[in-house]
Amino acid sequence: MAEGAAGGTGRRRGRRAAEPARPLGSLTRQDQPHALGTEECGSCGSRQLTRLRLTLADGTEVTFVSCHSCEHRAWIPVDGDGTELTREQVMERSARR
């Protein structure tokens, strides 16, 4: 193809400098401590966990833990002794009134 055949003038257009990549968002914050007992899975002992700090509707702060190995899930109060809440307790504390 001859130069300019596609409508160009033969001059290169200047490119803008690429903006620096922004860090991706995160569901967790490193500056907030997690609940006791969330370092490893309470069921199988695996340390490969997803941990999210959440606040339930009644104001209870918990760490939600999901195990990558056995898929065990738990909600553990941040100010507690490491004892998991039951699903019923989580549902009750999450109800909007």
Winning range, highest mean pLDDT, from 5-9, 18-22, 60-64: 60-64
Rg (CA), the chain: 25
Structural domain count of the chain: 1
| Full domain range(s) for residue 39 | 28-97
| Structure-model confidence comparison of residues 17 and 52, the more confident one | 52
* pLDDT value of position 33: 79
Please, what sign has the CA dihedral across residues 81, 46, 87, 61?
positive
In a domain, 48, yes or no: yes
Evaluate whether residue 13 is within a structural domain.
Answer: no
User: Does the residue 10 lie in any domain?
Assistant: no
Classify residue 12: in a domain, yes or no. Answer: no
Confidence of residue 69 (pLDDT cuts 50, 70, 90): very high
pTM of the model: 0.65
In a domain? residue 74: yes
Q: Provide the pLDDT for residue 79.
A: 93
Encoded tokens for 53: 């700090």
Asked whether residue 33 is domain-assigned, the answer is yes
